[in-house]
Each structure stands twice: as structure tokens, then as C-alpha cells.
């Protein structure tokens, strides 16, 4: 397939659509076959373009793999957005429990790409994934959940964004090497790190000072 005049001239909508098609094709192949078993030729064939057109958008396979990682980060953030929107008002324990399940789901959904990322030979890719997830989730939670939480609780930690970044990256790393760890243990770690008041009841007589933000409003 020849590169169209519009694509050669950098026509943004067409170019962006074509690039998205290539990323989606690569992601689909990675999930079905794994990263190591997928070639640039496979990706080009999957999307129905020539390899020369692939290289018009991506320098190499590593370049498109980086873009695929970004889509997984976006999916992870979307899971957290859904959790945040569906939190039960004031139910700190439930929100904490559900947040751990969200993290586990984001890390261990059953497909070849996530299995590949868990392998030692892809440690570099996993570190990039973990770093991007930690940055994106810490920023989102700081800007949304923490703000909600502060309406009902005193925030008892300093450096809120940085604390969430370190906490999330630590959880991701620990769960990678210890996938059998129980949700209860992980919830305890989060609660202790953030100093969460798990017994707060909205409208009740007790409104104890509490921590930060992976808890509900």
C-alpha cells in the first residue's frame, strides 16, 4: 500500500487514525501471541499496510510497543476513574477493598502481553509500564479522590502526590513478584501508609481526623 498524499503531507486526522490502527493491531497481536512472537511484518499485515508505511509512523517495533504500553496505562486510569465514580459515600473500608481489586485487575488481566511483562526478560518494559501507571494514577487520585476526601477528613500526610506515587509503584512492584499476596494484606499496607480512618461514618457522631485519598468522599 502506498502512502497517500494526505499522509505524506502530514494531514493530522488521517495520520492519527492510521497510527492508532497500527497501535491497536500491535496490541491485539501482543495479547494473542506475545511480544517476542510478534514482528513488524505481523503488525503491518494485521492492519493491512506495508512495512514501509509502518516505518512512516514508527521507527521500529520498540517504538510501537511504547505506544501500546501507553494504551494499557490509559486503560488502568479508566479502571480507577470507574472506581472513583462508583465509590459509596463515606464507606472507607469498601472503597479501599475495591481499590485493591482494581489494581490487581489492571496488573493481572489474563492476556499474553501482561504475562510477557511479568517475565524477567521484559523487566525494562515492565519498569516503564509501572512508572507510567504510578505517575498517571497518583496524579488522578491527587486531583480527584484526595480533594473529595479532604472535605470530610484532615489529611495527615505530607507530599500527597509523591506519597501516592511511591505507594502505587511499591504495590505494583510487590504484586508483580508476589501475586499470591492477599487483598487484606495490601489493604492494610495502604491504610497504614495513608493513615486512613476506616471507621468513619458520614453523618455519625465520630469524625476522626484521617489521612488522604484512596478513600471515599
State phi, psi for 202 to the nearest 5 degrees: -60, 130
Place of cell 509502518: 54
Q: What is the pLDDT of residue 3?
A: 47
Q: What is the pLDDT of residue 202?
A: 60
pLDDT tens digits, one per residue of 118-167: 666 677 888 888 899 999 999 999 999 998 888 888 888 999 999 999 99
| pLDDT at residue 22 tops 80 | yes
- For residue 44, what is its C-alpha cell? 503491518
Q: What is the pLDDT of residue 208?
A: 39
Q: What integer is the mean pLDDT of 87-108?
A: 88
Q: What is the pLDDT of residue 56?
A: 94
pTM: 0.79
What count of Cα atoms within 13 Å lies in the side-chain half-sphere of residue 158?
0
Q: What is the pLDDT of residue 114?
A: 65
Q: What integer is the mean pLDDT of 57-65?
A: 96
| pLDDT at residue 211 tops 50 | no
User: How many other CB atoms sit within 10 Å of the CB of residue 190?
Assistant: 20
Rounded distance, CA 137 to CA 142, Å?
8
Q: What is the pLDDT of residue 12?
A: 61
Integer-rounded Cα Rg, in Å, for the chain is 21
Amino acid at each position: 500500500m502506498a502512502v497517500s498524499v494526505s499522509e505524506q503531507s502530514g494531514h493530522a486526522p488521517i495520520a492519527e487514525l492510521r497510527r492508532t490502527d497500527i497501535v491497536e493491531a500491535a496490541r491485539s497481536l501482543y495479547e494473542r501471541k506475545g511480544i517476542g512472537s510478534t514482528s513488524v511484518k505481523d503488525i503491518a499485515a494485521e492492519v493491512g499496510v506495508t512495512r514501509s508505511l509502518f516505518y512512516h509512523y514508527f521507527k521500529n517495533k520498540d517504538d510501537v510497543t511504547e505506544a501500546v504500553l501507553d494504551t494499557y496505562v490509559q486503560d488502568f486510569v479508566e479502571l480507577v476513574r470507574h472506581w472513583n465514580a462508583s465509590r459509596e459515600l463515606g464507606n472507607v473500608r469498601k472503597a479501599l477493598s475495591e481499590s485493591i481489586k482494581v489494581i490487581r485487575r489492571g496488573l493481572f488481566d489474563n492476556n499474553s502481553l501482561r504475562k510477557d511483562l511479568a517475565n524477567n526478560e521484559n523487566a525494562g518494559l515492565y519498569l516503564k509500564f509501572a512508572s507510567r501507571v504510578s505517575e498517571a494514577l497518583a496524579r488522578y487520585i491527587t486531583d480527584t479522590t484526595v480533594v473529595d476526601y479532604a472535605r470530610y477528613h484532615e489529611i495527615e500526610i505530607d507530599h500527597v502526590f509523591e506519597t501516592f506515587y511511591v505507594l502505587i509503584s511499591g504495590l505494583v512492584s510487590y504484586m508483580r513478584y508476589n501475586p499470591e499476596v492477599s487483598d487484606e494484606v495490601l489493604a492494610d499496607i495502604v491504610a497504614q501508609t495513608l493513615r486512613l480512618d476506616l471507621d468513619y461514618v458520614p453523618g455519625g457522631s465520630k469524625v476522626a481526623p484521617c489521612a488522604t485519598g484512596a478513600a471515599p468522599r
